[in-house]
Amino acid sequence: MNVFHLAYTVGDLDSARRFYGELLGCQEGRSTDTWVDFNFFGNQLSLHVGELVKRSKTTSKVENISVPIPHFGCVLDWNSFHDLADKLQSADIKFIVEPSVRFQDLLGEQATMFFEDYSGNAIELKAYRNPSEVFSK
């Protein structure tokens, strides 16, 4: 089994638990008073209380959409992506990039959305219409 691990900083654990646990539905794992692990859609996300990672003023253009740098995220299945997008919209989450489909009718067609957690960390969630095209050129 290969699982991606990412350690990132948050301002506090209570808001991290509300965002990742309650809003995104990620199962909480081990924790102490300074960090907490989440099952972030099958990957290990370790959130540590500390100095927040500042986003660069640089953005990257993808199909004429400016995406924040740095960001992290996950590839979901098509239906889960849309269900979660609906949930986030209902929760009045402010999107950096609204849920949308890019590369429509092309190789690598994908739904994507960008938003921030309660500590200002930029997150991208996406889904490929054809999952076999995740690494296509």
pTM of the shown model: 0.92
Same structural domain, 83 and 122: yes
Q: Are 41 and 105 in contact (CB under 8 A)?
A: no
Q: Minimum mean pLDDT among 14-23, 31-40, 49-58, 82-91: which range? A: 49-58
One domain, residues 41 and 87: no
**Strands ordered across the beta sheet of 35-40:** 5-10, 43-49, 35-40, 27-31
Domain membership of residue 15 (yes or no) is yes
Q: Token digits for 36?
A: 């907490």
**Domain shared by 43 and 64, yes or no:** no
Greater confidence (59 vs 98) lies with 98
Whether 93 is in a domain gets the answer: yes
Is 106 inside a domain boundary?
yes
On whether both 23 and 42 belong to a single domain, the answer is: yes
The answer to whether residue 104 is domain-embedded is yes
Burial label for 27, CB within 10 Å (0-12, 13-18, 19+), is exposed
In a domain, 117, yes or no: yes
Q: CATH number, domain at 17?
A: 3.30.720.120
Domain count, the chain: 2
List the domain range (segments joined by +) for residue 39.
5-49
**DSSP code at position 4:** -
54 in a structural domain: no
Alpha-carbon gap, residue 106 to 60, rounded angstroms: 20
Q: Is the pLDDT of residue 72 over 80?
A: yes
The reply to whether 64 and 121 lie within a common domain is yes
**Does residue 34 sit in the same domain as residue 72?**
no
Please report, for the domain that includes residue 101, its CATH number.
3.10.180.10
Residue 60 has pLDDT above 80, yes or no: no
What's the pLDDT band for 63 if we cut at 50, 70, 90? confident
